[in-house]
Amino acid sequence: MGNHLIAPSILAADFGNLKADLEMVNSSEADWFHIDVMDGVFVPNISFGMPVLKEISKHTKKPLDVHLMIVKPQRYIKTFADLGSNILTVHYEACNHLHRTIQEIKNNGMKAGVAINPHTNVDLLSEIISDIDLVCLMSVNPGFGGQSFIEATYKKVSRLKQIITNANSTCKIEIDGGVSDKNAKKLLETGADVLVAGNHVFKSDNPTEPIAKLKNL
């Protein structure tokens, strides 16, 4: 496989010692930092906002993959661009005018991603698949870390890969939620390109090891 990317989820990091965890990811084989921004409305949890992201961006040497789990994300596109986001992902379920939002993300110099919740059909993305750089498939119900992986995700990855191939798109498939060494290989074989890993990395005694193992599958 070899070309896949690993994006440790900072939501699972030690917030009392955040700089050390960011430096660990910098020195590891990880490719991106995955940053979950939650508003307590779109998902039943509040994570962190602009001031924390501003500090995170000062200490990161790899691309910031920012996942907005918020209502009306179009209000903040320029703000997140100014904070140093490289990839900005919005939820299909949170956007009434998704195409416009995607264009605005790109106009602000970022790569555009669209996330979908576990119950959302991937076929709904067929009309925009050529316009986006990333699809983030939620493989747990969004809002909290540490949840169990939803097995139906494999089927969704396979179908989404078909849609991408049929459209001659270069869009990447990102898996977010419950990723570990138990399912990573099968996800990659099914068509995933980017693996987001939270607890599997940060709850390890030596977090660079699970990152290296995921990277070298």
Give the pLDDT confidence of 62-98 residue by residue, as tens digits: 999 999 999 999 999 999 999 999 999 999 999 999 9
Query: Where in the sequence is the domain holding 76, given as residue range(s)?
Result: 5-215
Query: Does residue 54 come out as left (phi exceeding 0), alpha (psi in the -120 to 50 range) or beta?
Result: alpha
Mean pLDDT of 110-124: 97
Q: Domain total for the chain?
A: 1
Task: State the DSSP H helix or E strand holding residue 160, giving kind and residue range, or none if neither.
Answer: helix 153-166
Catalytic residues: 36, 176
- Would you tell me how many other CB atoms lie within 10 Å of the CB of residue 111? 17
pLDDT digits (tens, 9 = 90+) for 155-180: 999 999 999 999 999 999 999 999 99
CATH number of the domain bearing residue 99: 3.20.20.70
- Asked if 35 contacts 59 with a C-beta cutoff of 8 angstroms, the reply is no
Mean pLDDT of 190-214: 97
Structure-block tokens of residue 190: 């099914």
Distances (CA, A) of 122 to 65, 126, 136, 154, 189: 21, 8, 11, 12, 18
